[in-house]
Structure 1
Amino acid sequence: MARWQPDAPGRLAAAALELFEERGYENTTVIEIAERAGLTKSTFFRHFPDKREVLFGGGALSDLLAEGIASAPPTAGPLDAVTGALDALGRTFFSADRREFSRRRQAVLDANTELREREALKRIGLTASMVEALGLRGVPDRTARVAAKLGALVWEIAYDQWIEADNEEDFGSLARQALAEVRTIGAVR
């Protein structure tokens, strides 16, 4: 692959995933990832701080969630604002063309404790981003924390369903279904 081709981060992520599947996460180096992508080690580090982060999208997810919450209509409640952000996430990161990559990525994560720990920390950070974005909308802290954590739960449920081999439903629809279930359970006394 020529170095001048576009989407270096995407090429690096694809190369890393292939190598992690072939050799295992522990047995793959940054240099090997960069070479497989047709790039240099310095290009790798321009986009990612380490080989773990290559499968986690940098800060783009946090930014997209915050933008989605900020752009929700002023009349939207906290959970509806989070739902709008999850819809935006679905259109950008969880589109049909990324489903197979995401399935393979999840299998690599499931096989490695260090990557599962990184995934858990990333989700905590994403939840914190949602809390902050809701706070900027004037949502009280406790309410923002509850809405963000429910949003994270909805995301997790929708994502797990979205990557199932026999599921072709779009992420946004799955997230809305999970949110409806969460709301129904919350209404049960």
Structure 2
Amino acid sequence: MAGMARWQPGARERLVLAAVDLFAEHGYDATTVAQIADRAGVTKSTFFRHFPDKRELLVAGQDALSSLLSEGITEAPEEATPLEAVAAGLTKASSFMGPMNRELGPRLRAAIAASTELQERDALKTVGLASAMTAALRARGVPTPVAHLAAELGVLAFKQGYESWTATEDDSDLAPHALAALNDLQAATAHLR
């Protein structure tokens, strides 16, 4: 984790990081709000100032992500192809992913691997992101089957890009990783015939 020292997480970020570590160690169900607050070095009332319950810890960023992906698609130039619009969505969402998100990646994967409930939640999150992008593409006049496919490729690209971004030690942003993944997926579709 060399080179990560510059970034100092605030209370909200510390709570999220503490939570995912505890979920990975003890499982989601066995982890209490008190343990999360304790690990983060804050009081329980501070926890509740930021999150209504431990479930909300994990969905907190999801609505924002869906909105950013949709906005990027909506703001893409009129002549953009469906995948170019998806690329614009990925770029917009990526620009809001900072050191916190990068540090969270591997820890969140460990927590999800340890918990069935979190696996289900992760699957629902994927569906939510895809449907947000599909709706934004359809609003651009993209036919439904094409919109669905482009959105699914966008979600895959986001996930793969996020994986490779959190695995690198350099100072890169998420966007190039997500866009490279989208290019690879687009190239792969040529072999589907």
Give yes or no for TM over 0.5: yes
Give yes or no for the alignment of 1:73 onto 2:77: yes
Paired with 2:45 and 2:123, the residues of 1 have a C-alpha distance of 27
Residue 85 of structure 1 aligns with which residue? 89
Contact (CA 8 Å) 1:154, 1:178: kept in 2 or not? yes
TM-score computed with the length of structure 1 as normaliser: 0.80
Contact (CA 8 Å) 1:31, 1:41: kept in 2 or not? no
Give yes or no for the alignment of 1:171 onto 2:179: no
Contact (CA 8 Å) 2:87, 2:179: kept in 1 or not? yes
The residue correspondences of 1:10-49 to structure 2 (distance < 5 A) are 10-34=13-37, 36=40, 38-40=42-44, 44=48, 48=51
Residue 180 of structure 1 aligns with which residue? 183
TM-score computed with the length of structure 2 as normaliser: 0.78
Give yes or no for the alignment of 1:136 onto 2:139: yes
CA deviations on 1:36-73 (whole Å, 9 max, x unpaired) are 452445853x6545423413424111111111111112
Residue 66 of structure 2 aligns with which residue? 62
Contact (CA 8 Å) 1:158, 1:178: kept in 2 or not? yes
| Aligned-residue CA RMSD (Å) | 2.8
- Give secondary structure in 2 for the equivalent of 1:163: helix
Contact (CA 8 Å) 1:78, 1:134: kept in 2 or not? yes
Residue 3 of structure 1 aligns with which residue? none
Paired with 2:171 and 2:120, the residues of 1 have a C-alpha distance of 28
Q: Structure 2 counterpart of 1:132, which letter? A: A
Q: 1:176 to 1:48 in 2, by over 3 A?
A: same
Contact (CA 8 Å) 2:24, 2:112: kept in 1 or not? no
- Give secondary structure in 2 for the equivalent of 1:153: helix
Q: Which ranges of structure 2 fall in alignment gaps of 5 or more residues? A: 1-8
**Percentage identity across aligned positions?**
43
Q: Structure 1 counterpart of 2:151, which letter? A: A
Paired with 2:120 and 2:45, the residues of 1 have a C-alpha distance of 25
Give yes or no for the alignment of 1:99 onto 2:115: no
CA deviations on 1:140-180 (whole Å, 9 max, x unpaired) are 22221111011112122222222336676542212222222
Residue 115 of structure 2 aligns with which residue? 112
Q: Structure 2 counterpart of 1:32, which letter? A: Q
Residue 145 of structure 1 aligns with which residue? 148
